[in-house]
């Protein structure tokens, strides 16, 4: 799976002595369904990118910035904080990095779903069932 690159995100920060840009870890492009649990309840999300330390999500009625959440997607249950919000998109910074094996499992699940021709609606239905959102 290719790493997502953006010129804006690669511009070095003044406070970064290693001049790594805005992110310390590269993110892998992923398209999987999952959920976010917050004090306000559980919401469906699409996981768009993930790294060992965070993720980019898309979903409706997600919590705002600075709210604590639990991301549930496949084998991953990661505690974190929403660090930015734009429209229906959110960025989460994990409290503790996920393992490399969890990251690889997410990538494999995304690739397998794409190769199997599973539609986004089918992915969402499977995630809803796994995360207790199915009726």
Which pLDDT belongs to residue 125?
76
Query: Which residues have a Cβ under 8 Å from the Cβ of 46 and sit 6 or more positions away?
Result: 31, 32, 33, 34, 57, 58, 59, 120, 124
Which pLDDT belongs to residue 126?
74
CATH fold of 28-130 reads Thrombin, subunit H (2.40.10)
The whole-angstrom distance between residue 2's C-alpha and the CA centroid of its chain comes to 16
38 near 68, Cβ under 8 Å?
yes
Report the alpha-carbon distance of residue 28 to residue 2 in Å, rounded. 6
The whole-angstrom distance between residue 35's C-alpha and the CA centroid of its chain comes to 10
Q: Which residue did the predictor score with more confidence, 89 or 13?
A: 89
Give the residue extent of every domain in the chain: 28-130
Report the alpha-carbon distance of residue 31 to residue 114 in Å, rounded. 9
Q: Looking at the predicted structure, is the pLDDT value of residue 114 above 90?
A: no
Report the alpha-carbon distance of residue 46 to residue 73 in Å, rounded. 9
């Amino acid at each position: 799976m290719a790493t997502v690159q953006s010129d804006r995100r690669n511009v070095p920060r003044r406070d970064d002595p290693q001049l790594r840009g805005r992110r310390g870890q590269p993110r892998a492009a992923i398209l999987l369904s999952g959920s976010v649990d917050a004090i306000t309840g559980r919401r469906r999300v699409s996981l768009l990118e993930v790294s060992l330390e965070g993720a980019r999500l898309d979903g409706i009625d997600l919590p705002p910035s600075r709210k604590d959440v639990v991301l549930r997607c496949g084998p991953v249950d990661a505690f974190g904080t929403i660090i930015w919000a734009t429209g229906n998109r959110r960025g989460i910074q994990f409290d503790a990095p996920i393992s490399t094996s969890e990251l690889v499992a997410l990538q494999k699940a995304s690739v397998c779903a794409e190769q199997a021709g599973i539609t986004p609606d089918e992915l969402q239905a499977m995630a809803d069932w796994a995360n207790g959102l199915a009726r």
